[in-house]
Amino acid sequence: MLSEFLDRIRSAHAANTPLVIQGGGSKTFYGNADEGEVLSTRALTGVVDYQPKELVLTARAGTPLAEIEALLAEQKQMLAFEPPYFGDAATLGGSIAAGLSGPRRPYAGAVRDFVLGVRLIDGTGQPLRFGGQVIKNVAGYDVSRLMVGALGTLGLITEVSLKVLPQPSLETTLQFELDEAAAILRMNQWAGLPLPLSASSWHAGLLTLRLSGAASAVHAAQARLGGEPLQDAGAFWQRLRDQATPFFDQRPLWRLAVKPTTPPLKLGDAQWIEWGGAVRWLASDLPAAALREAAGQAGGHATLFRGKTPADGAFAPLAPALATLHRSLKQRFDPRGILNRGRLYPDF
């Protein structure tokens, strides 16, 4: 099976023919438009190894996320970074390449925090392996992390080893009627307290907070905070994770990553706040430059998540030093730029 991918990439490298790496296609909207023939990873499927007692799972890139999470659930374990699906066909490799995390991210960690090792094929058709399959094995760990969020521009991920975590004993979700400024203040105040927070959301005057952990800790936090318990909370967080609400259908949709304590940005009424105030989703027709400037002044950056790509690309332009580093990495892993050409940044 792997030999077919090796041959395909080697041929494309020799002919300087661009390839579009694609798993389930659930995240094709994310990033810039790429060019080339589709190279599907759906044949690279299956869990290679799973050691529940060691909290480690290894699976091939084309394995459906739903299959992996169902297997983990049987052992009462989970992918703590709550990878968004954006569609039933979502695969493990696509989740790693996109580098996107769900509502639990600020409280449990990001995708890259759980990647132990990867196998990949670089742009010359050379198979590579970085990292390992045990939590204590950190050889090459940082190189493995480079693949997270690279959108396939550095190589075709064929296999991933991940750290998994036990599911919490209890979860409950509380809601509070608060305006934007008060909600941001509360989220930051509560983040500094010993509370079992695992997700936060504010939209349309409603702050929603999830508590996860030991039953005693959750009950104590609930008694301390008050609020109204939310029924069917699991469905609420799943819809938010996968952006399956009418708000996220708006175009253009921007994602502003800022300091959590940033006060209301006043860039429009249509917004959704996550991650304790650190992520501001904004449906806005304002110029890209204005949104990037506002995010920069708030200590962050702005990304076009859905909609027509601006002239400078979906992602915030890199500082010269970072741009040089990115080009060097691209040259090392994919010297002819055949993999997902232009997907991450227009010039590579």
* 223 three-state secondary structure: helix
Q: Which of 104, 276, 110, 258 is nearest to 193 (CA)?
A: 276
263, 248 contact by CB (below 8 A): no
Residue pair 77/165 in contact (Cβ under 8 Å)? The answer is: yes
The identity of residue 205, as a single letter, is: G
In tens digits, the chain (348 residues) has pLDDT values of: 799 999 999 999 999 999 999 999 999 999 998 889 999 999 999 999 999 999 999 999 999 999 999 999 999 999 999 999 999 999 999 999 999 999 999 999 999 999 999 999 999 999 999 987 654 444 444 788 999 999 999 999 999 999 999 999 999 999 999 999 999 999 999 999 999 999 999 999 999 999 999 999 999 999 999 999 999 999 999 999 999 999 999 999 999 999 999 999 999 878 999 999 999 999 999 999 999 999 999 999 999 999 999 999 999 999 999 999 999 999 999 999 999 999 999 888
DSSP tag of 232: T
- Burial code (b: 16+ CB inside 10 Å, e: under 16) for 28-42 equals bebbbebebeebebb
- DSSP assignment of 80-106 equals TT----SSTT-BHHHHHHHT---TTHH
**CA-to-CA distance for 148 and 131, rounded, in angstroms?**
13
Contact in structure between 117 and 102 (CB atoms under 8 Å): no
pTM flag (> 0.85): yes
Residue 215 CB coordination number (10 Å)? 11
Alpha-carbon gap, residue 216 to 118, rounded angstroms? 38
Q: Using DSSP, state whether 20 is helix, strand or coil.
A: strand
CA 317 – CA 302 distance, rounded (Å): 10
Residue 339 per-residue DSSP state: B
For strands 77-78 and 115-121, give the pairing: unpaired
